[in-house]
Amino acid sequence: MQITVQLADDLAQHANPGREALEALAIEGYRAGALSHFEASQLLELTQFEFDGFLKERHIYDHAYGVEDFEQDRETLRQLQADGLLRA
């Protein structure tokens, strides 16, 4: 899926405005609980460990990967396997 976003000229002058917007979406989606740890890492094409580092580099500690994230990721994995989208 491709999403197009129109940015103000001053924002469009940033070095990589598309990546910045994607990172902000992943961070806020994760903080709000709209995205699981796994989903946010996939959005940024990072491993879950890389995503942890990504958050740490930005001094984001309030949503460190925890038991609830683990359980949600396990359920997502089960669903992907049940749907035939992922092999065991």
Provide the domain count of the chain.
1
Q: Kindly state whether residue 88 falls inside one of the protein's structural domains.
A: no
Can you say whether the dihedral through the CA atoms of 9, 12, 18, 19 is positive or negative?
Answer: negative
% of residues, the chain, pLDDT over 90: 39
- Please report the pLDDT score of residue 66 as a whole number: 73
- Please report the pLDDT score of residue 44 as a whole number: 96
- Please report the pLDDT score of residue 9 as a whole number: 84
- Please report the pLDDT score of residue 3 as a whole number: 79
**Do 17 and 11 meet the contact criterion of CB atoms below 8 Å apart?**
yes
80: left (phi over 0), alpha (psi -120 to 50) or beta: alpha
- CA 1 centroid distance within chain: 16
**Do 73 and 66 meet the contact criterion of CB atoms below 8 Å apart?**
no
- CA 54 centroid distance within chain: 10
Q: Which domain holds residue 45?
A: 9-82
Q: Kindly state whether residue 68 falls inside one of the protein's structural domains.
A: yes
Q: Kindly state whether residue 1 falls inside one of the protein's structural domains.
A: no
Q: Kindly state whether residue 26 falls inside one of the protein's structural domains.
A: yes
For the segment 41-82, what is each residue's pLDDT rounded down to a tens digit?
999 999 988 998 999 999 887 666 678 878 988 999 999 999
Q: Kindly state whether residue 21 falls inside one of the protein's structural domains.
A: yes
